[in-house]
Amino acid sequence: MKLQSRLPDTETSIFAIMSKLAVEQGAINLSQGFPDFAVDPVLIDLIHRFMKEGYNQYAPMPGMPALRAVVADVISKTYNRTINAETEITVTAGGTQALFASIAAFIHPGDEVLVFDPAYDSYNPAIRLNGGVPVHINLTYPDFSIDWDLVKSKITPRTRLIMINTPHNPSGAVLSAADLRTLEALADEYDLIVLSDEVYERIIFDGLRHESVLHYPKLAARSVAVFSFGKTFHATGWKVGYTVAPEELTREIRKAHQFITFSVNTPVQLALAEYMKEPQHYLNLGTFYQAKRDYFLEGIKGSSFEPIACHGSYFQTLSYRSVSSSPDRQMAEELTVKHKVASIPVSVFYNDKTDNGLLRFCFAKNEQTLDRAMEILRKL
C-alpha cells in the first residue's frame, strides 16, 4: 500500500508524550492542561437528570436551542453585544473542533493564514490539512507581545485569515485594547477574517478586562470567536465549545461542522444551558485561578526558576536558565525523570523551535498536588 502522509513532519502530541512519561515515572503531572479537581456536582446531576429524561439522541446540528439562547444572553451581558442565537452561535465538539471547522470553512488551497508563535499545536496542522499556508510570526519575548509592524509586513494578496489567542496559551499573556484596535484596522484594510481563540476568556487576572473581538463592532463583523465550556467548568474531557460569528460566516462554519461531528452531546448541552442560568457559576473563575497562580508563584520562591508574567489562562511559564543550559525538551524530560515533575517545553509551540529556556506548568491543580510539585521545584 502506497501511503503519502498529509502531515509527514507531525509526531505524537507533546502533551501525550509528557503525560505518558509522567505516568511511567510516577511524576506529578503539571504538563497537560486539565484540572485535577472535581466538576461541580450540581452540573453532574443535571447531566444525569437529562439523560434519565430521555435526551440521549442527536442534538440539532447547530446546537441545542436552549444552550444557544443562554450563550447569547451571557454574551449580551459580558460584551454588551446582541447576538442572534439561531444564526450566529454554533455548538462544537470543543474549541479545537471549532477552530478546525472555521479554518475548513474559509481557507482555500494556497490561502495564507497568519499565526503567532508560540501557538497551540492544532493551528498549523488544521491550516495545512485544509490546503492553507501557515505564516508564522514570533511574539516578542519576554512579554509575548505582537509587533504589528512585522505583522503588516507579512500580509500579502494571498493572506486570508489571521489567528489570535487571548488569554494566550502557553505564555499567559493577554492582548490589550490597543492591540484589538490595531487588529481591527488591519483586518479592515486588507479584508481579512479574524479567528479569535478565546477559550480562556473567564481566566484573566490582575483586574484586566478580557479584550474579546466581540467588544469591537467593526472587528466582530469579520471575526469568529471561539470559546470552551470545558475550560470554564473544569470539564475538558466533555469536549464542548462554540463559535460566535456573523450570520454569513456562521453559515459557512456550519457547512464544515456538519460533516466533522454533525452534532454535540445532547444531555451535556442541556445541562450547561441550565447551569449557566446562574452567573455565579462562571463569573468568579478569574479570582479562583488567580489565587492558584499566586499560590504557585509563592510556593516556588527560593527556587532558581524565574517566572514570566502571566495575566491569564491556567499556565505559568518559568525560565530555567539559572538552573541549566540544556535545551528545553531535554530539561523537561530530565525534570520528569529525575525530579518527578512533568512540564511542557515551550519550544514545541514554535514552528521554528525557538528555545528561550522556558517550561510551561499547569497550575489548575488542587493544593496538595501543587504543594508536592513546589517542594521539588524549590530545591532546584
Q: Is the dihedral of CA 277, 50, 59, 268 positive or negative?
A: positive
Residue 177 reports pLDDT greater than 90? yes
193-230 pLDDT per residue, tens: 999 999 999 999 999 999 999 999 999 999 999 999 99
289 with 266, same domain: the answer is no
Question: What CATH number does the domain containing 353 carry?
Answer: 3.90.1150.10
Task: Say how many C-beta atoms besides its own lie within 10 A of residue 207's C-beta.
Answer: 8
121 with 140, same domain: the answer is yes
Task: Say how many C-beta atoms besides its own lie within 10 A of residue 341's C-beta.
Answer: 24
Residue 2 reports pLDDT greater than 90? no
Judge whether 188 and 218 are in contact, CB under 8 Å: yes
Cα–Cα distance measured from residue 277 to residue 5, given in angstroms and rounded to the nearest whole number: 46
Q: What is the mean pLDDT of residues 293-317?
A: 97
Judge whether 292 and 370 are in contact, CB under 8 Å: yes
Cα–Cα distance measured from residue 147 to residue 137, given in angstroms and rounded to the nearest whole number: 9
- At residue 33, the pLDDT reads 87
Total number of domains in the chain? 2
Residue at which a domain ends, from 227, 250, 277 = 277
Judge whether 173 and 139 are in contact, CB under 8 Å: yes
- At residue 13, the pLDDT reads 86
Mean pLDDT of the chain: 96
- At residue 10, the pLDDT reads 84
pLDDT cut 70: percent of the chain above it? 100
Query: 336 is in which domain, residue-wise?
Result: 14-32+284-378
Q: What is the mean pLDDT of residues 227-244?
A: 96
Residue at which a domain ends, from 234, 250, 277 = 277
Q: Three cell numbers at 165? A: 489567542
Which parts of the chain are beta strand (E)?
Answer: 28-29, 89-92, 112-117, 133-138, 159-165, 193-197, 223-228, 241-244, 306-307, 315-319, 341-342, 344-345, 358-362
Cα–Cα distance measured from residue 107 to residue 103, given in angstroms and rounded to the nearest whole number: 6
137-165 pLDDT per residue, tens: 999 999 999 999 999 999 999 999 999 99
- At residue 34, the pLDDT reads 85
Within a domain: 41? no
Phi, psi of 15 (to 5 degrees): -65, -40
Q: What is the mean pLDDT of residues 273-282?
A: 95
Q: What is the mean pLDDT of residues 328-352?
A: 97
Confidence of residue 287 (pLDDT cuts 50, 70, 90): very high
Within a domain: 360? yes
Residue partners of 297: CB distance under 8 A and separation at least 6: 307, 316
- At residue 1, the pLDDT reads 84
Residue 12 reports pLDDT greater than 90? no
Q: DSSP per residue over 245-267, as a string?
A: --HHHHHHHHHHHTTTTSS--HH
Q: DSSP state, 279?
A: G
Within a domain: 6? no
Residue 9 reports pLDDT greater than 90? no
Residue at which a domain ends, from 227, 247, 277 = 277
- At residue 245, the pLDDT reads 98
- At residue 140, the pLDDT reads 98
Q: What is the mean pLDDT of residues 227-251?
A: 96
Judge whether 200 and 231 are in contact, CB under 8 Å: yes
